[in-house]
Amino acid sequence: MKAPDEIRAAFAAHPRHRFIPDLVWPEPQGLPLARSADPRRWAAYVYDDDAVVTQANDGGSGMINTPSSSSSAPEMMAGMIEAAGVAPGARVLEIGTGTGWNAAVLASLVGPSGSVTSVEIEREVAEQARERLAGTGVRVIVGAVPTEGVYDAVIATCSAHRVPLEWVRHLSAEGVLVLPWAPYESGGPTPIAALSGGREGRFTGDGSFMRDRTQRVPAPRFPGMGREIERKGAVPFGAEELLERDLLTRLVLASPGIWITLGARPWQEATAPIIALEAGESWAYLWPDGSTTGGGPSDLPAELAEIHAVLDGAGWPELTEFTLEVLDDRPHRVRAAGLGPWDHHL
């Protein structure tokens, strides 16, 4: 884990397995994995470097195990804590208690002179976290964010499309809001932003986080389903190149008028990733070799190619060079190294 020594020490003081429940969901389909049934596999999953799914389908069942609560990847947690500037004596508000592991790490960092308040929307999850957090001094609240309190840092472990002003209002004058921000109402990337005063700041890294439950909307239909191909073409880059070079999130941030999502389709006697585009009645698929198919009034691949050329001409600014600005009752605004602004309508 790449993190300052004090953050590494806080993680070491709270081993992850103490906060993970007996049942976990390592696969997108099938039954959960029980610790009692296969302790070695359970431990291997828990001590992997990735997120651990601790609840699927909001506690219900389904053909697909859609994650609804999890323990975030340790390196992601450490990066968010560092971005928030958590230090001894800090007052921290956490949105999304989950297992309680992140809250325990925060409690060690703020020490006895600081405080950690953690909010969890689901009562059963909150009660389990309270048991694991006994003796840490963390206050766990069930339901909505409290109306009172001033905090030096607010850390959200769930993503938000609209940055909630109730989170911003809790910050002190020098406080920082760290949250995974979702450019789209549903799906898509959720890069992490660290906003001074909850208003403006840089993205610190990429991530994949579940949506804040108050902002969930039904997933849209995949672009082009049931539509006839009206247009074929090509662009100077393919789906595989964008994914291999990790360019997709930056394209999303610079393309507020186009919905960009991933899919898979038969390709050259196998299955390959494609990038799907949609805007209004227009849709398109970008194939691995740069060929495109689509329909509707707009040539979306050509529009994407224009945005690609702008970013390419600027040397592809790193994600950490992109900034997010939160505006009251107006679109959230993204800029990057002299480029933009790109207004993301809410």
Hey, which residues are catalytic here?
72
Beta strand 339-344 with 332-336 is: antiparallel
Q: Amino acid identity of 17?
A: H
DSSP assignment letter at 58: G
Quick one: which H or E segment has residue 10?
helix 5-12
Closest to 216 (Cα-Cα) out of 260, 249, 184? 184
244's torsion region: left (phi>0), alpha (psi -120 to 50) or beta?
alpha
Residue written as tokens 């662009």?
Answer: 235
| 153 and 86 Cβ atoms separated by less than 8 Å | yes
Quick one: which H or E segment has residue 283?
strand 282-286
Q: For Cα atoms 36, 41, 43, give the angle at the middle one, nearest 5 degrees.
A: 80
| 239 and 214 Cβ atoms separated by less than 8 Å | no
Closest to 62 (Cα-Cα) out of 109, 28, 99, 103? 28
| 212 and 185 Cβ atoms separated by less than 8 Å | no
